[in-house]
Amino acid sequence: MQAVKPVEILTVDLSSREITRDKIEDVELIKKYIGGRGIATYSLLSSMDPEVDPYSPESPIVFAPGVLTGTIVPCSGRTTVLFKSPATGRLFKTNVGGHFGAQLKFAGYDILVVKGRAEKPVYLYIEDDRVEIRDASHLWGKDVRETNRLVRKENDDPEVQLACIGPAGENKVVYASIQVSIYNAAGRGGGGAVMGDKNLKAVAAKGTKGIRAAHPEKFMETVAGLWNKMNEVSGVKPLSDYGTSIGIESTNAIGAFPVKNYQQGNIDNVKYLTGTYLVEGGFLKRKISCYSCPVACHRFVTVDEGKYRGVYTGGPEYETLSALGGGCLSTDTAGVIKANELCNILGLDTISTGNCIQWLMECKQRGVVSDGDAGGLDLTWGNSETIIDLVGKIAHRQGIGDLLAKGLKAASEELGRDSYKWAIQARGLEQSRVETRSAFGYALAFAVNSRGPDHLNTECLAEFGGSPEARALIKRITGSEEYAYPHTTEKRADIVRWHEDIYGASDALGICAFPTTAQFWMDEWDLAGLFRNFTGIEVSHEDMMRAGRRMIVMERCFNAMLGHTREDDVLPYRLMNEIQHDAMHDNAINSAELLDKMKDEYYALHCWDIEKGLPTKETLCELGMGDLIEKITGYIELK
Amino acid sequence: MSGSVTVSIQKDKCTGCGLCRLACSFDKNGVFNPNASRIWILDGDESGFYPNICRNCEEAPCLDACPAGALVRRREDGYILLNSEKCVGCNMCVMVCPFCAIGRMGDRNFKCDTCNHLEKCARICPHGAIQFEKPAHSRANKRRKLAGLLTAKTGGKEKW
Ligand code: SF4
Ligand code: SF4
């Protein structure tokens, strides 16, 4: 058998305080699942009882940097975080940038599994072979910035990198984030609440071991080729100059910017919510990179005058400017930055936080909730101070914040009275800030996403055909540039599946989704080349894409074991039942019929059981995953 | 030494990506390991990053401090080189270097040698935060920028 660098797995049990180290050396397995997200998902699916409560010691949380994380490959600094979500009750993959994953790799670990529950607050300290479960009583209650500062100080090392939670995670807000510094978050799905439940304040990592490529020269050649490609494409510079909010003005212009809780498609004075304004208004102080990233799409911003003077934070990104700005009918730049700062330091997902606040404001608009119910807060649309106040109340579960902290699904069930109709969530996850009624590829992607309706498993930006590279990609997938048009159901299944595949492959390698699915300067051939030259394992571009597909299939199987079927592949009520205002095209709705048509095509393309929307035994065998059938059929029947 | 180049750091351009450190460690040790790098990114949190590297001082304290003759100034370009073979690991140079620009792995120290004028860190830096230039050139550049700022109609807003 070919000798390869094994996948090193570190498992820490917080209940028994046992620390174990395992290796995966099976080349065939590595080829099938690549590493990072792939291998982590495989090990959860094959070893975990899917039915365990997300808040139980048996429910693990897994940190899996990519195969290439810690190397010089551009944009390779990303880490997958996997857990069973308290928000959705399903397997949840999140992915986070920053420098944490690289340090874990330098310490010698590819995958970190944390299970059990500590008796009192602890943090995990990892420095090479030294792995310690340390007291964190003094950190409990501290915000993210302070926690970072204190841990670095007590270890006398400014290079220690943390994945930590803030008060929101401690209070088990179901959309509490795991923060990697103030710039990056494994934001969605409530990983922060899972850490909080484990009494795990932080994982601190620092490594001094080096990483070697199997074929260093060829590896560096592949890397050099990527730099050239990066410098040629049109989308990198704008992203670097203006950050992820670069697209807000144009989205607003086509009426597809979800404003006022998806009641409007655009907002006046959108200028104040753009990346350009962050620069021109003097908020942007510095661009920030994830590890090994030449693009630097993250921002460091400060507010230097007015009532929010003194605020400083990472962000705001597209999603945040939409969720805590436009979505709440606010264009108060400094106000959004303040709300963003609070989310970052209290440890909250900005998307879910924003959606919950919008829902509450609409509850007032529709006479379901009064200002009095909200403890006297003025719930009028666009009130910055209320938005900021609510962020704090959610994190600390004070007053009405306690209701919102349960997430939109539970909150709207509890409040009743038709409020589910404007709760922009499905399967327990608040939809990310995409107007899917104006983008049918996104609609399908969001409906079938194992996480819930959001963009981070399958961002199919290319369907808009916004750049020559995007149109070329659509042509490559569908055979014609004509399909670079988001208001049709045609070929959406093909487009979505391609994106799922490449997302999986990128995540497994630790590569950011922007180069593969937004600026298009890395493709499956590049990913295969990098993997080959780094590990010495022969793979083709098709192998990479099939590995990505296995990840989607595994996630679907995991959730199917919990009862998920095609009936659950839906979108929020409003998007399925109300026509989008300000849309530029007819039929701006994600009706059940529209989704059904695309779902049929999507399941068929995957060779799944169309009736149930689930993989069949044959699909599994064809993908070389026959070994999982026994486990899965212990819970459900497969065709 | 007037013919030699010196390093010029534009700290506000650094985004903290760490690519320069990996380029350095790969060049020197064939490995991706920031701990083996001859350049450091000092993380000042809110106040930003500072790519820190040997300045090749004209009056170099490290040179005077080394008891083993491991540090020498190269005649052609004025660069200070550390010969790890001769280094006895006493850390005198680390103690006296005002920039903390000398690293250590195992029991030997190391420092920047400009990759024999290939300056891998500067070449990879995507944002131009590290530049190697002739001191005269660097001063001229600075003056040119300053002239622009001082003569422009800035409405008193520009800071420099
Ligand atoms: S190592 Fe330090 S003291 Fe020696 S030349 Fe470089 S900066 Fe100056
Ligand atoms: S490569 Fe440039 S931007 Fe990146 S850390 Fe080094 S100096 Fe900073």
A297 to chain B: closest CA residue? B15
Sequence-distant (6+) residues with CB within 8 A of A22 are A8, A9, A11
| Mean pLDDT computed over B134-155 | 68
User: Do B22 and A158 make contact, defined as CB atoms within 8 angstroms?
Assistant: no
Whether A593 and A472 share a structural domain: yes
Q: What's residue A607's pLDDT?
A: 97
pLDDT at residue B144 greater than cutoff 80: no
- pLDDT tens per residue, range A436-450: 999 999 999 999 999
3-state secondary structure of A120: coil
- A575 in a domain, yes or no? yes
Residue A118's domain comprises 7-206
Are residues A300 and A425 both part of a single domain?
Answer: yes
How much of chain A is helix, strand and coil, in % rounded to 5?
45, 15, 40
Are A309 and A426 contained in the same domain? yes
Q: Which band of pLDDT confidence, cut at 50, 70 and 90, is reported for residue B158?
A: very low
Residue A516 Cα to ligand 1 midpoint, Å, equals 42
Q: What is the pLDDT of residue B1?
A: 44
Mark which of A430, A452, A472 sits at the end of a domain. A430
A223 found inside a domain: no
∠ at Cα A597 (A520, A639), nearest 5°? 95
Would you call B43 an interface residue with chain A, using a CB distance cutoff of 8 Å?
yes
β pairing state of B49-52 and B71-73: unpaired
**Average pLDDT for residues B40-68, to the nearest whole number?**
90
Residues A445 and A376 in one domain: no
Contact residues of ligand 1, CB 6 A cut-off = B 54-57, 60-62, 80, 97, 99, 101-102, 111
With respect to residue A233, please indicate whether it lies within any of the assigned structural domains: no
Same domain, yes or no: A54 and A161: yes
Nearest 5 degrees, angle CA A581-CA A590-CA A355?
65
Domain match, A263 and A366 both? yes
More confident residue, B154 or A570: A570
User: What is this model's ipTM?
Assistant: 0.94
pLDDT value at residue A132: 98
| Residue A234 confidence (pLDDT) | 87
Cis check: omega of the bond before B126, within 30 degrees of 0 = no
Residue bearing the CA closest to ligand 2, atom 4: B17
Mean confidence (pLDDT) of chain B: 86
> pLDDT value at position A2?
54
Domain containing residue A92: CATH number: 3.60.9.10
Contacts of residue B50, Cβ cutoff 8 Å, sequence gap at least 6: B9, B11, B14, B41, B42, B44
Residue A316's alpha-carbon distances to A246, A247, A405, B19, in angstroms, are 11, 13, 22, 25
- Residue keyed to tokens 């120290």: B109
Same domain, A190 and A300: no
pLDDT in tens, A128-157: 999 999 999 999 999 999 999 999 999 999
Estimate the crossing angle of helix A350-365 against helix A407-415, to 10 degrees.
20
Q: pLDDT tens across B10-28, in order?
A: 888 999 999 999 999 999 9
Could you tell me if residue A230 is inside a domain?
Answer: no
> Which positions of chain A have pLDDT values less than 50?
1
- Output the ligand 2 site: residues, CB below 6 A: B 14-20, 41, 49, 51, 124-125, 127, 129-130
- Say if residue A378 is in the same domain as residue A414: yes
pLDDT given at position B134:
72
Asked, for residue A224, whether it belongs to a domain, the answer is no
B6 to chain A, any CB pair closer than 8 A? The answer is no
A382 & A244 share domain:
yes
- Residue B43 is predicted with a pLDDT of 86
Q: Which amino acid is at B141?
A: N
Which of chain B's residues have a Cβ under 8 Å away from the Cβ of A284?
A: none
In a domain, A478, yes or no: yes
Q: Report CB contact under 8 Å: A216, B30.
A: yes
Tell me how far apart the alpha carbons of residues A370 and A30 are, in angstroms, rounded to a whole number.
56
A218 touches chain B (CB under 8 A): no
Rounded to 10 degrees, the C-alpha dihedral A565/A404/A320/A594 comes to 30
Distance from CA of A458 to the nearest CA of B (A): 26
| Per-residue model confidence (pLDDT) at position B14 | 95
- CATH number of the domain enclosing A586: 1.10.599.10
What CATH number corresponds to the domain at position A399? 1.10.569.10
pLDDT-derived band at B156, boundaries 50, 70, 90: very low
Residues A196 and A310 in one domain: no
Q: Which of A384, A415, A430 is the last residue of a domain?
A: A430
**Structural domains of chain A, count:** 3
Do both A425 and A443 map to the same domain? no
Cβ(A108)–Cβ(A570) below 8 Å: no
Examine residue A2 and state whether it is found in any structural domain, yes or no: no
**How far is residue A290's CA from residue A76's CA, in Å, rounded to a whole number?**
8
Residue B138 has pLDDT above 70, yes or no: no
**Could you read off the pLDDT of B95-127 as tens digits, one per residue?**
999 999 999 988 889 999 999 889 999 999 999
Best to test chain A binding among B21, B24, B32 (most A CBs inside 10 Å): B32
Do A326 and A243 share a structural domain?
yes
Q: Look at residue A217 and tell me if it is in a domain.
A: no
Report how far ligand 1's centroid is from the alpha carbon of A473 (Å): 51
Residue A359's nearest CA partner among A158, A574, A543, A504 is A574
Among A407, A430, A453, give the residue marking a domain's end.
Answer: A430
